[in-house]
Amino acid sequence: MQLRFLGENSKVGDCPTLYATDRDTYLVQGWKIFANDLLAQLDLGEGETAVEVPTELFEHLEKDGHLSGEFRRLEDPLMVLTPGGTYVVQGWEVADPEALSQMSIPDYETVVEVSKAAITAPRRNHVELISSTERNRLIESVAHDAFHLELRDDYSVPLEDGPYEKWLGGVVDDDFMGPWLSMIRQLTQGGKTVRRVRVVTEPHAPYVRWEHEGTPLNEQAGEQIRWLPRHEVPEGLSFPLAGKDWWLLDDRLLAVGHFDGSGRVLGSELVDDPETVAECIRVRDLLWETAIRHSEYKP
């Protein structure tokens, strides 16, 4: 089996990797799965196994002729989207010595092979994104309610010189929040509601601790913020929109966040499909009731 490297999403000690083969398949190298709740969702046959990988890994499909760097779905049961924003991919466990010799695989990782035909690319060539400024204008124009679901533990960009990096160095600089807080005050004083739920991993990443320290400023301006530890996400809940963040505006329009592999914001995709909006309303209401008020949530 000959392999063609498509890409990886490496962090220190981790190296989920995607390859194309010469027999119309993909090899997905990822973390071995030991969690019983994930394994229970799979029907593994003889010779099959499953791996867990970041959703961003499949952006590298663009290098194999997909019109977008994203895919819409893997045919069931090849994919499970976890609350942590990763995919569980099921396939044939790779045992070919020649193929394995072309890869570097830590003990805690393994490799599965899946058919290219199992991966469905988006039906559109390009996703139109609006800027953060344009998204904020939409939030500013809501008639009743704006709700944000945050699912990432880190929104920083490596090597970026900003307020978070200053905080890491012991300097608190909240000036950047001025325009946002002004908008929130204007909305809430006009009877509008602005809410957000932050789903976070415990123990907290430094970025989450920074967010938590700054949240009183949001609440003083009228924004309502609740926290939900990732391990307390209701069992069986599947996040809509492939686990991306989203703003839900007046229960009719979604602004879905897109990020690149380093975490940099690319923009927001507008979605008004009634079925998707209805599912996001359901998830919002469930999480809002489950999440913990900021005043009661301690890091």
With 0-12 / 13-18 / 19 or more C-beta atoms within 10 angstroms meaning exposed / middle / buried, residue 117 is: exposed
Strand pairing class (193-200; 145-150): parallel
% of the chain with per-residue pLDDT over 90:
55
Query: What tens digit of pLDDT does each residue of 94-108 get?
Result: 998 988 998 888 889
Q: Are 241 and 254 in contact (CB under 8 A)?
A: yes
The token duo for 52 is: 């867990």
Q: Residue 159: which pLDDT band, with cuts at 50, 70 and 90?
A: low
Residue 218 banded pLDDT, cuts 50, 70, 90? very high
Residue 262's pLDDT is what? 61
The pLDDT value recorded for residue 74 is 59
Tell me if 37 sits within 8 A of 49, measured CB to CB: no
- pTM to 2 decimal places: 0.63
How does 120-155 read in b/e, with b if 16+ C-beta sit within 10 Å?
Answer: ebeeeeeeebeeeeebbebbeebeeebbbbbbbbeb
Per-residue confidence band for 124, with pLDDT thresholds at 50, 70 and 90: very low
**50-97 pLDDT, tens per residue?**
998 887 788 788 777 765 444 555 555 566 666 666 788 888 999 989
